Amino acid sequence: MSERFAAVEIISAKRDKLELSNEQIEWTVDAYTRGVVADEQMSSLLMAILLNGMNDREISKWTDAMIASGEKMNWSMLDRLTVDKHSTGGVGDKITLPLAPLVAACGAAVPQLSGRGLGHTGGTLDKLESIKGWKANLSNTEMLKVIQECGAVICAAGAGLAPADKKLYALRDVTGTVEAIPLIASSIMSKKIAEGTSALVLDVKTGSGAFMSDPKNSALLARTMVNLGNAAGVKTRALVTAMDVPLGLTVGNALEIRETLEVLAGGGPSDVVELTLLLANEMLDAVGIKPKVSPADALKNGMAMDVWRKMISAQGGDNDAALAVAREKTEIKATASGKLLSMDAKKIGVAAWRLGAGRQKQGEAVQAGAGIEIHAKPGDLVVKDQTILTLHTDESNRFDRAVEALTGSFSIGGKDEVVQRLPLVIERIEG
């Protein structure tokens, strides 16, 4: 079969800061998926995109081409409206876990396709797999059955959903092109649009523990994704939220499940509860549902917990099995008395990763019990020798490198000093 274009022409065009035509983009994504465009050629093009960017039309067409590489899901047979949420990831970000059953308890259907952790940010599927028997991989038929029975499902994306993205994501990861906004936006939105949900709320993190630390870049990414979703007929909006300090008081797989259960029982850390409720209200509003019971009440009265237990059980999980506890632990204590002024989310995340809660490359196993408990947050008064962090791992030889990562991870100052923190929600973006 003769090809319409040559890869080198397209690489050269983007290298020279030219726009790619719709036909060039369609061919490039399809040809790479088919193996006609080699990895080294696509690597060159990705770097050219990172350096020279893409305009809105190019990003939209690139996203469309990735969607066209696979199947598109359809939820029209459901008796309720579908809405999904996507987070760009952070440290201690377990919001998906209480949020999906909460929104389902309030009347929407939530087909939540989630991922695994890589590096210092945790993965929702890794957290859920710390529940005995729970399975992440469902067929489309199984996924539909869980949603019909429970109102929500959290599972892995099937191989048929935007396969071009899977191939491109792996290449970006090893070629230093992960940070390109056109590529991030099209990667996320190709899967979310192909998922077939009627509305989508994006939680775009910013701060040291986020994928993007600069709020301006995070807002640009959020706007790009909102525009892509709305153009594709998915009602899309975004919140740019803080990730300068870890969310909640736990970082790690089973530790975060334990905290999720506290939230679903009507308790839990105030920042996790606040963001869960903000996103729940956004999701319900996006599909025009005015619930008879508010999300806040559905957390307090057990409705959300009922959906959670049903959903976990429907995916093979044992709700009553004990969660994993790491074999070893050590404490990091305050070296002075005063006010806790800062806590670096990225350093906490890297330490949890080194303890075994995360992975360095795709496919590596993670420890269910590894991670960090946080006993004080910025603004709290602490005394000398008070425990600030408890580190958990199955292998004590991991402590040294984790403690090294925590150098300068928090600071203590005078009781009257002002804490400099990002607000929980920095910006709200709607098309």
Q: Which of 187, 198, 218, 409 is catalytic?
A: 187
d(CA 254, CA 358): 12
- Strand 381-382 relative to strand 199-206, pairing: unpaired
H/E element, 257: helix 253-264
Structure tokens at 169: 């994501």
Rg (CA), the chain: 22
State yes or no: is 191 an active-site residue.
yes
Active-site choice (191, 205, 339, 398)? 191
Residue 167 CA neighbour count, 13 Å, CB half: 22
Query: Is 165 noted as a catalytic residue in this protein?
Result: yes
Rounded to whole angstroms, how far apart are CA atoms 18 and 20? 6
In the set 14, 61, 85, 86, the catalytic residue is 86
Active site residue 216: no
Distances (CA, A) of 244 to 130, 169, 378: 26, 26, 11
> Which residues pair with residue 339 across a beta bridge?
381, 413
Task: Estimate to the nearest angstrom the gap between the alpha carbon of 421 and the chain centroid.
Answer: 22
* Given 85, 120, 127, 172, the catalytic residue: 172
In sequence order, which residues have a C-beta less than 8 Å from that of residue 152 and are 6 or more positions away? 100, 101, 103, 104, 109, 110, 111, 112, 146, 307, 311
Q: In degrees rounded to 5, what are phi and psi of residue 327? A: -75, -30
Choice among 30, 84, 126, 165 that is catalytic: 165
Among all residues, which ones are annotated catalytic? 86, 165, 172, 187, 191
